Structure 1
Amino acid sequence: MGHADRIRGRLVRLAIGAALVAGLGTFGAGTATASPPAHEPPAGPSPATVAWRDLGTLGGSWSTPTDVNDAGQVVGTSATADGRSRAFRWQRGVLTDLGALGENSAATAVNERGEVVGSSDGRPVRWRNGSPIDLAAVPGPAQALDVNDRGEVIGVRYTETSGMYGQGFLWRDGRSVDLPGLGGDSYPVTINNRGEAVGFVTTATTSEAALWRNGRLIRLGPPDALASMAHDINDRGQVLGSMRLDGDPNWHNFLWHDGVRTDLGAITTVGINSRGEFAGNPDGPLGTRPVRWHRGTSTELAPLGGDFAQASAINSAGSVAGQSSTADQQTHGVVWTRNRVIDLGPLQHGASIGGVQFINDRGLVVGVLNPTGEGYRAVVWDTAHR
């Protein structure tokens, strides 16, 4: 799976007033523990459902994933027994505490080389050779948000003059440069393997979708938009974003490529892969189905017998992961491939409903469940042989 295909599967959770924080980095050794065994789905009307595996915690009651690569390395953050929050890496059944500069840390993403980045005690870090390394070239309080397969890191730092989002930066080979804006904040969300980053910049009155290429800011939003922002970019330079137009109460998503912006209508996209395929959820009443687009053609993704479905992530093969209601009104995880639908089983345990977040190119699906009611846990479903 190309780096840009892992939409913060890393899920896009951008809206005006809130920004997606995606990350990256290099993992270290740290403390390792075996994760719990896989849990077979409960007996019921869906015998073909896929077993889920609890990744465990670092001693506390919860863990949450933030990214997965094609080697099956899952990264995220977990509570510890003494109440701290620590970055973790999970691989082949082993959960590893990645350590911290002081007390706390959080991992935000992993690239295909296994480099993990995030933050620790107010500083941007990456993990290498068993311990977190401070990105010392970045001044002041800051956090790393994403990393590409070349090891280029984007993030945001906070200054006395920055607003709520901060000043975006690009870190490369031990050097850091600020990403230009429009007089306000600049916030990069993700970076592709060509070193192109997307996100948004702010002015005194609004936000505007932004692409940073070779140190230069390219404005992507229409001049008459009330607000806009960019969510994702693939290695071909195709950008997904959203915009709010005057006179329309709905947010519209758009596709931008080589200066041409296409309005996709009232829909929320969840990511674009290296083939230019993207998936999303049309705004509308209950029963509106998620869709997958490719070259102007959209395909509806049917629910598992119920009246609700939602896409969460897409991989480079075009498989879409998400959740769906069933005929008996349970909420299940689901993967829509090109020729079949894979039922991941119930996401609800008691009053708690979990969620599907990511899928890599080998069919490893990552999400969260709350199986005991005591805290959400990072889990995986392996659909490779289904």
Structure 2
Amino acid sequence: MRVFPLVVAVCLALAACDLVDPEPSTVRPKPATTGKPSLATASSERSSTGVPVTDLGSPGPAGQALAMNDAGQVVGMSLTNTFRWLLWSDGVITDLGGIEVADINNAGRIAGKCGAHACVWQSGATTDLGTLGGASSAASDINNAGQVAGNSQTASGEVHGFVWADGVMTDIGQIAVAAINDAGQVVGACGSAPGRACRWENGAISDLGTLGGTSSRASGINNAGQIVGTSLTAAGQTHAFLWANGTMTDLGDLGQGHSEAFAINDAGQVVGYGCWDLCDNGQGHDDMLHAFLWARGEMTDLGTLGGSYSRANDINAGGEVVGHAFRTGEDNISEIEMSGRPVLWQPEPDNTAPTVNAGADREVEVGQPVSVTFTLADATANGPWTWYVSWGDATTVGTATTTADPITVSHTYNQAGAYRVLVRVTDDAGGLGLDDVTVRAIPAGGNTAPTVIAGADQQGWPGAQMSVAFRFADETPATPWTWQVSWGDGATSSGSVSSPCCPPTPSHAYQSAGQYTARVTVTDGLGASGSDDVIITIYEPPAGNTAPTVNAGFDQTWFAYGTVRQTFNFSDRSTPAPPWHWEVAWGDGASSSGVADQMGSVSPSHVYTAAGQYTVRVTVTDNLGAAGSDEALISISPNDRPTVTAGPDQMAQPGQSISETFTFVDDASIFWTWRINWGDGRSNSGFTTRIDPMNASHAYADAGRYSVIITVTDRVGAVGADTFAVWVGPAQWVEALVEQVNRVAATTALTQDQTRGLLGKLDQVRAKLAAGQTDQGINQLEAFVNQVDAFGRNGTLAADSAQGLIAWARGIIDRLQAASS
């Protein structure tokens, strides 16, 4: 699935997230450069693609950097046993308290949300920006003139965009606001969700269009008026775009068909992220997503900290990029806010990406090997070059030390089809070159066309959504299959599938009475097609249409942060006109909606975050426009989420059992369920009626870093969480110590040379252990301990910081000695 960072998870707490898409709230416009970030105490390393990257450090095991100004100040968040909002400035991390940050301008003013209202923080003081008459508001961005843009509830409960300046909040209409530049131009998304990218300027709203698809959203704007965002393409893919002077340009992707842009600086450099591998349109839990920098028509893959995921949220005028990246062992983006580190990338400004030529398309018989020979060139010769050949059903990886020699790789296909073979080459600074060819794998006995069954004939009213549940089979499967439904009135629907098992169910609304022949055509990957027809008869609508009768259901009493399920019923017996569109307005600014094909009951759910009485209004509209409504009352009593405290990070060997003891506190409940996700696909769970320390044990089969997530759920469904890490295997123990040094260095007076000295000793430990020289590795750890102890005694390191590093290092020494004795 597609999972947003935490700033999205908290949304606007307007509970209108279906209208106000929170995703763009993490992106900002940036003005002219004034300097470099002051991160001298943080230690830089190389990302997985060779780009210099710095872990900014955070109080907890996970964190995200969301925005950055030209003075090098960064704002973001960290997860400990709760979410903490942070400012990184001059090597110091400041806990901002209750403000949920969105952006920071060059004056160090931070815009975000304090409680239920948009606010601005500066030098420890906050300013409440108020609302447009409703209960809540949230800031999305702040420019260098101090203008703040965001969204607010109005007195009528709608969600509108606003611009705040000099104490006055101005309503700018129904726009999901993302960003504002120094000229006061505002961008976001307009219209019903998911909407279309738009720009507000001096009271007028302009539609920016799409890349050929049905929806788009703008995420950032610079002072030249260039706008970036994300749009659906005509092919149904999600791609990053750059809009300038009335033209929307597709920025491409990292080779796997999905990209999103979040910010742009005045130099026209764009950052975002895109699918690198295993991609389900950016939605799958195992998607490999990488941050990117786009400049001068070229992509730079910013890489990760060794894991499967990174995301670039912002770029300053100096071309430095902040975001979020996973370390080695972190690979599940469905729990994105629980993993990863806040990072700063510093890509090489003059690097040029390699160019790749994969040659001509090819044809091969199934079961026989096929070869692809590709060449590469690189104007800046930033080698070595890592290359990947994605065959469509497997991947071959290698390294080139020169661009002079062609590279040949081979593969054998076991299933017929037309395969896109992607050749991707990354230089040692993240520059990315792509080319692809098509390989047609032909069945040995020849290809046959698919057999299609379009389904039974149908009847309906004008405007009704008519669905065709077609099926098909293919005796000589040749992936992929494309399908098209020609509805008989000039309209078509189309798509593709990778298996005959599960085709979609397309639908269409006819506007006039008549008899229509809908033809379903399925074409396999080698071009063979099969078709079938279904007759759809559309009758004239009935005279005197009546509205549906709605029963909103029983009044309820529940608790804050618990899930409320409201079951309502409706009927439309006299003049039924399906389908029926329903909407539930929950009374706190949030709403749920959907479509019902049959009369009866629907059970949407909602989570209230504050106590109070809420009038829930249920509206059902038939397909001819007649609407019926009813109301119910939901009383919400006070309740807090459980506060969970996990134990410290742990070390283990593969196969060795570890024990975890965690505690939690809760204001009022009589029972709780708990779950420990061990990070390796396994979990423990249980039930308790007492607030006592809980214990569970687990053994990991393989070495690696595992992020363990503990959740406690009270009797009404409110969930609290905390995390800790388990480092399995000696190499991972040392890696944990490296992370701790970087984290300590970001918040103490350690100089760069002192930090490099400590990390150099740990590099020696790694090398010695990798060579099987355990005693020499222990000696280097002892030297590390002595140096940290000296820093603690002379005041360079705080006592608790020094003791923490020494304790972890001693733990490694003890385990190494025990294993070698």
Normalising by the smaller structure, the TM-score range is: 0.5 to 0.7
Look up the match of 1:118: 112
Q: Is the 8 A contact 1:75 1:88 kept in 2?
A: yes
Question: Which amino acid is the alignment partner of residue 121 of structure 2?
Answer: W
CA gap of 1:380–1:257, structure 2 versus 1, over 3 A, is farther
Rg comparison, structure with higher value: 2
CA gap of 1:245–1:192, structure 2 versus 1, over 3 A, is same
Can you list the C-alpha shifts for 1:80-115, whole angstroms capped at 9, x where unaligned? Answer: 98x6x664434234443445xxxx432222110011
Look up the match of 1:130: 124
Look up the match of 1:109: 103
Q: Which of 124, 137, 141 is the matching residue for 1:142?
A: 137
Whole-Å separation in 2 of the counterparts to 1:283 and 1:80: 29
Look up the match of 1:28: none
Q: Is the 8 A contact 2:211 2:249 kept in 1?
A: no
Scaled by the length of structure 1, the TM-score of the pair is 0.63
Q: Which of 157, 161, 172 is the matching residue for 1:179?
A: 172
Whole-Å separation in 2 of the counterparts to 1:307 and 1:68: 23
Aligned length: 322
| Structure with higher RCO (Cα < 8 A, 6+ apart) | 1
Whole-Å separation in 2 of the counterparts to 1:87 and 1:68: 14
Percent identical residues: 27
Whole-Å separation in 2 of the counterparts to 1:63 and 1:195: 31
Whole-Å separation in 1 of the counterparts to 2:70 and 2:231: 32
Look up the match of 1:275: 267
Whole-Å separation in 2 of the counterparts to 1:326 and 1:54: 13
Q: Which of 170, 182, 187 is the matching residue for 1:198?
A: 187
CA gap of 1:120–1:160, structure 2 versus 1, over 3 A, is same
CA gap of 1:177–1:288, structure 2 versus 1, over 3 A, is closer
Whole-Å separation in 1 of the counterparts to 2:326 and 2:128: 44
Shift of 1:252: 2.8
Look up the match of 2:219: 231
Shift of 1:146: 0.9
Look up the match of 2:692: none
Asked if 1:262 is matched to 2:249, the reply is yes
Whole-Å separation in 2 of the counterparts to 1:77 and 1:290: 18
Unaligned segments of structure 2, at least 5 residues? 12-16, 29-40, 279-287, 332-339, 352-381, 383-427, 431-702, 709-722, 728-738, 747-751, 757-821
Question: Which amino acid is the alignment partner of residue 92 of structure 1?
Answer: D
Whole-Å separation in 2 of the counterparts to 1:80 and 1:328: 19
The structure with the greater share of residues assigned to helix is: 2
Question: Which amino acid is the alignment partner of residue 256 of structure 1?
Answer: W
Shift of 1:124: 1.2
Shift of 1:241: 2.2
Q: Is the 8 A contact 2:311 2:323 kept in 1?
A: yes
Which one is further off, 130-139 or 279-288?
A: 279-288
Q: Is the 8 A contact 1:322 1:335 kept in 2?
A: no
Look up the match of 2:805: none
Whole-Å separation in 1 of the counterparts to 2:308 and 2:78: 31
Q: Is the 8 A contact 1:65 1:74 kept in 2?
A: yes
Aligned-pair Cα RMSD in Å = 5.2
Q: Is the 8 A contact 1:98 1:131 kept in 2?
A: no
Shift of 1:274: 1.0
CA gap of 1:254–1:177, structure 2 versus 1, over 3 A, is same
Q: Which of 705, 721, 729 is the matching residue for 1:350?
A: 705
Shift of 1:262: 2.2
Alignment of 1:1-386 (within 5 A): 18-20=21-23, 21-22=25-26, 52=55, 54-56=57-59, 64-77=64-77, 87-99=85-97, 104-128=98-122, 130-136=124-130, 138-140=132-134, 141-159=136-154, 161-162=156-157, 166-181=159-174, 186-203=175-192, 206-222=194-210, 225-246=213-234, 248-265=235-252, 266=257, 267-281=259-273, 283=275, 285=277, 292-295=293-296, 297-301=297-301, 312=312, 313-318=314-319, 335-338=346-349, 339=351, 350-352=705-707, 372=725
Look up the match of 2:772: none
Look up the match of 1:34: none
Whole-Å separation in 1 of the counterparts to 2:149 and 2:127: 15
Whole-Å separation in 2 of the counterparts to 1:22 and 1:302: 18
Unaligned segments of structure 1, at least 5 residues? 1-7, 25-36, 354-369
Shift of 1:214: 1.8
Q: Is the 8 A contact 1:255 1:264 kept in 2?
A: yes
Give the match's secondary structure for 2:133: coil
Question: Which amino acid is the alignment partner of residue 268 of structure 2?
Answer: G
Which one is further off, 264-273 or 169-178?
A: 264-273
Give the match's secondary structure for 2:118: strand
Whole-Å separation in 2 of the counterparts to 1:146 and 1:178: 15
Whole-Å separation in 2 of the counterparts to 1:294 and 1:174: 38
Question: Which amino acid is the alignment partner of residue 139 of structure 1?
Answer: G
Can you list the C-alpha shifts for 1:236-273, whole angstroms capped at 9, x where unaligned? Answer: 10111222245x22123322112122233453234322
CA gap of 1:218–1:349, structure 2 versus 1, over 3 A, is farther
Look up the match of 1:27: none
Shift of 1:162: 4.8
Whole-Å separation in 2 of the counterparts to 1:273 and 1:127: 23
CA gap of 1:288–1:90, structure 2 versus 1, over 3 A, is closer
Q: Is the 8 A contact 1:23 1:144 kept in 2?
A: no
Whole-Å separation in 2 of the counterparts to 1:19 and 1:131: 25
Look up the match of 1:356: none
Whole-Å separation in 1 of the counterparts to 2:177 and 2:65: 20
Scaled by the length of structure 2, the TM-score of the pair is 0.33
Shift of 1:145: 1.5
Whole-Å separation in 1 of the counterparts to 2:145 and 2:228: 22
Look up the match of 1:358: none
Whole-Å separation in 2 of the counterparts to 1:40 and 1:222: 39
